[in-house]
C-alpha cells in the first residue's frame, strides 16, 4: 500500500514538473516573438579574437569585436569608400606636415571618461611607444609630435608628408581608447568601458565566445540590438549549418563549397561582392633559398593558379599583381606581368638557381578552412618541381606570432585591405622598418623602401597612384608574394536581421542592425 502511495506521489510530482517545464518553454517562446524581447545577434567566426585592444591586435576576428566597442576619428563610407568624420568633427591641413583635427564634443567613453584631445593623444602616443610593440604602429609612423591646444583640438605633426593620413585614421587599429580604462587594467583581455562605441564589452570566454551589450548612452543613439555574441566555431560546416538553422544569425567569408547551399536557403540572405583582399604564398627573405629571385620565379611558374581558382565557385579572382583590382594603385597592365603556369620553365629556373634536384621546405599557415585547403594544393604543385614541402599548420594566434618572429620559411596568408589603398599593403608587408611586426617576409631592400615611402608621402594623388603602379609592377616581377587569388567578400545573414552592410574589405558594422 505504502509503496503504491509513494509511486503515485512521484508520478504526480513528475507530471507537475513536466507541465511546469512545458509552460516555461512556451513562455520563453512567446516572449521571443514580442517586440519588447531582447534582440540578440549571434555572429559565428572560425577564429577567436587575439585581443580586445585596438592598440595590440591586427587580425580580422579581433577587429570585428573592436569595431563594436571602439571608434575611430574618421570612417569609410561603406558604399562610396569616402572618408567621413566619426569621432572627429572635421580637419584642416594648413601645410602638408600639419593636420589639425577638431573633435566632436559631449562624447563620453563607456566608463564615463570624457572623450577629448587628451584621449586621442594618449592612444596615439601609446601606439607609437616602441615599448608597446603595437603591430600596427606603422599606421602612425610618420607622426612626429602630437599637440592638444584645447580640449577638442588635436594637431598631428608629421616628419614627412603623409598623404594617406585620413585613411589611416579610419583604420580600426587607430580606434581611440579610454585612458582611464587602459591605465586601470589590461583592456586587451577585458575591454569593459574602454571605448566610445555603440556596444559595451561584457565577457570573453576564450575559445568560446565574446559578448558585447548595448550602450544605452551611445552618442549616436542607442542601438536596437541588445547584445551580440561572437561565437567561435572552428568548423566551417558547423558554422554554416548554424546559420541555416537559425542558431546563429550571420557569418562572413562563406567557403565556396557552402555557397550554393546558403544561397538556396530561403531564410538566408547572401551578399557577395568583389573585395580587396588577396590570398598569397609568402616567403621569408632571410631564409635560403627564398632570397633567390629565380627560386621564387620557379615557384610562381609551378603553381597553376587558374586551376585552383576554378574550384572556388566564383569566390576568387585571378590577378597577377600584388595590388589587386579593387585597390587604389591597381592598373590592368599588371596582368601582363607575373609568371605563368609552366612546369618546364620552373624546373629550368630552379636548375639555374642551383637546385636542379629541388630542396626541402616547410609551409606554415593558420589552420583555418581557407588555408587548410590551399596548403595541400601548393604541396602537390611544388612536388612537380621536386620541392618537397612539409606542411606546418598552426593555431591562428600561434601562426601570427610565428610568422612575425621570422620562423616561417614559406607561409600562406591573406591581407584584407582596410583602407582600400595599395599603400596599406606595401608599407606594412614589405617596408624594412616593419620587420618583426607586419613584415612577415622580412623583406629589406632600400630601393623598395624608398619607393614605398613615396607611395605614402606624396601629396599629389595622381603622382602617388603612379608610384603605387610602379611598385605593383616591381614587386610582382620580383615575386615578393605569389598572389594566389584576389578575394570576393561574402556574408550570409538570416533574413530577419537587417541593417548590416558589407564593405569591400570584408568588414561591417552593427550600429544600425535590427531584427524584424
Give the residues lining the site for another protein (CB under 8 A). Answer: 235-237, 255, 257-258, 261, 304, 307-308, 310-311, 367, 369, 372-373, 375-377, 379-381, 383, 391, 393
Return the number of the residue (138 or 370) whose C-beta is nearest another protein.
Answer: 370
Q: How far is the CB of 390 from another protein (least distance, A)?
A: 8
Per DSSP bridges, beta strands 153-158 and 387-394 are unpaired
Nearer to another protein, 114 or 256 (CB): 256
Main-chain dihedrals φ then ψ at residue 190, nearest 5 degrees: -135, 105
Q: How far apart are CB 394 and another protein at their closest, in Å?
A: 10
Question: Considering Cα of 303, then 305, then 307, then 313, what sign does the dihedral take?
Answer: positive
Give the Å distances, CA to CA, from 314 to 149, 309, 310, 489. Answer: 52, 8, 8, 11
Sheet strands (E) in 77-122: 83-85, 88-95, 98-103
- Our CB check for another protein shows the closer of 132 and 379 to be 379
Q: DSSP label at 395?
A: -
Q: How far is the CB of 378 from another protein (least distance, A)?
A: 11
CB of 33 to another protein, least distance (A): 31
Between residues 235 and 460, which has the closer beta carbon with respect to another protein?
Answer: 235
**Please, which residue, 277 or 392, has the CB nearer to another protein?**
392
Q: Which is nearer to another protein, 77 or 235 (CB)?
A: 235
The answer to whether residues 514 and 500 touch, using CB atoms and an 8 Å cutoff, is no
User: Strands, DSSP E only, in 38-152?
Assistant: 40-45, 74-76, 83-85, 88-95, 98-103, 143-150
Q: Which three cell numbers stand for residue 317?
A: 579572382
Query: Which residue is listed with cell 502511495?
Result: 5
Measured from the CB atom, the residue of 96 and 393 that comes closer to another protein is 393
**Residue 469 has which C-alpha cell?**
603602379
Nearer to another protein, 311 or 405 (CB): 311
Helix, strand or coil, per DSSP, at residue 301: helix
| Closest separation in Å from C-beta 11 to another protein | 35
Whether cis (ω within 30° of 0) applies to the bond prior to 264 is: no
What's the closest the beta carbon of residue 391 comes to another protein, in angstroms?
Answer: 6
- Per the listing, cell 516573438 goes with 33
How far is residue 259's CA from residue 307's CA, in Å, rounded to a whole number?
19
Minimum distance, C-beta of residue 237 to another protein, in the bound complex (Å): 5
**DSSP 8-state code for residue 498:** E
Return the biggest CA–CA distance within the chain. Answer: 99
Residue 370 CB, shortest distance to another protein, in Å, is 11
Amino acid at each position: 500500500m505504502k509503496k503504491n502511495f509513494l509511486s503515485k506521489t512521484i508520478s504526480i510530482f513528475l507530471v507537475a514538473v513536466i507541465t511546469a517545464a512545458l509552460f516555461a518553454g512556451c513562455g520563453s517562446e512567446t516572449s521571443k516573438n514580442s517586440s519588447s524581447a531582447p534582440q540578440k545577434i549571434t555572429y559565428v567566426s572560425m577564429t577567436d579574437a587575439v585581443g580586445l585592444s585596438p592598440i595590440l591586435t591586427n587580425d580580422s576576428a579581433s577587429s570585428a569585436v573592436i569595431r563594436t566597442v571602439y571608434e575611430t576619428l574618421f570612417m569609410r563610407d561603406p558604399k562610396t569608400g569616402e572618408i567621413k568624420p566619426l569621432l572627429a568633427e572635421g580637419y584642416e591641413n594648413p601645410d602638408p606636415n600639419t593636420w589639425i583635427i577638431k573633435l566632436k564634443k559631449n562624447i563620453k567613453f563607456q566608463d564615463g571618461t570624457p572623450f577629448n584631445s587628451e584621449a586621442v593623444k594618449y592612444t596615439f602616443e601609446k601606439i607609437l611607444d616602441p615599448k608597446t610593440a603595437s603591430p600596427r604602429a606603422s599606421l602612425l609612423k610618420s607622426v612626429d609630435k602630437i599637440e592638444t591646444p584645447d580640449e577638442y583640438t588635436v594637431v598631428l605633426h608629421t616628419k614627412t608628408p603623409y598623404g594617406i593620413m585620413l585613411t589611416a585614421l579610419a583604420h580600426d587599429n587607430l580606434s581611440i581608447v579610454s585612458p582611464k580604462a587602459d591605465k586601470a587594467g589590461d583592456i586587451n583581455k577585458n575591454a569593459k568601458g574602454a571605448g566610445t562605441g555603440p556596444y559595451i564589452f561584457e565577457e570573453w570566454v576564450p575559445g568560446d565566445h565574446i559578448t558585447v551589450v548595448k550602450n544605452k548612452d551611445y552618442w549616436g543613439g542607442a542601438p536596437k540590438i541588445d547584445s551580440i555574441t561572437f561565437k567561435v566555431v572552428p568548423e566551417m560546416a558547423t558554422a554554416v549549418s548554424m546559420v541555416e538553422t537559425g542558431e546563429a544569425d550571420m557569418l562572413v567569408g562563406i567557403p565556396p563549397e557552402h555557397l550554393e547551399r546558403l544561397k538556396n536557403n530561403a531564410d538566408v540572405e547572401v551578399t557577395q561582392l568583389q573585395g580587396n583582399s588577396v590570398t598569397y604564398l609568402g616567403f621569408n627573405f632571410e631564409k635560403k633559398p627564398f632570397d633567390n629571385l629565380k627560386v621564387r620565379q620557379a615557384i610562381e611558374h609551378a603553381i597553376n593558379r587558374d586551376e585552383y581558382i576554378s574550384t572556388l565557385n566564383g569566390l576568387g579572382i585571378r590577378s597577377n599583381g600584388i595590388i589587386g583590382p579593387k585597390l587604389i594603385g591597381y592598373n590592368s597592365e599588371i596582368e601582363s606581368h607575373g609568371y605563368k603556369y609552366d612546369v618546364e620553365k620552373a624546373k629550368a629556373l630552379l636548375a639555374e638557381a642551383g637546385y636542379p634536384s629541388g630542396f626541402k621546405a616547410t609551409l606554415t599557415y593558420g589552420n583555418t578552412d581557407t588555408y587548410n585547403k590551399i596548403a595541400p594544393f601548393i604541396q602537390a604543385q611544388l612536388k612537380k618541381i621536386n620541392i618537397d614541402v612539409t606542411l606546418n599548420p598552426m593555431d591562428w594566434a600561434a601562426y601570427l606570432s610565428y610568422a612575425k618572429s621570422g620562423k616561417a620559411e614559406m607561409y600562406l596568408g591573406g591581407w584584407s585591405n582596410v583602407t582600400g589603398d595599395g599603400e596599406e599593403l606595401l608599407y606594412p608587408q614589405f617596408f624594412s622598418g616593419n620587420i618583426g611586426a607586419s613584415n612577415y617576409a622580412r623583406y629589406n631592400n632600400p630601393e623598395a623602401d624608398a619607393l614605398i615611402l613615396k607611395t605614402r608621402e606624396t601629396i599629389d594623388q595622381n603622382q602617388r597612384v603612379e608610384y603605387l603602379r610602379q611598385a605593383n609592377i616591381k614587386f610582382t616581377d620580383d615575386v615578393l608574394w605569389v598572389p594566389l587569388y584576389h578575394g570576393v567578400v561574402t556574408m550570409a545573414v538570416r533574413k530577419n536581421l537587417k541593417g548590416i552592410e558589407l564593405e569591400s574589405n570584408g568588414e561591417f558594422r552593427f550600429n544600425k542592425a535590427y531584427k524584424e
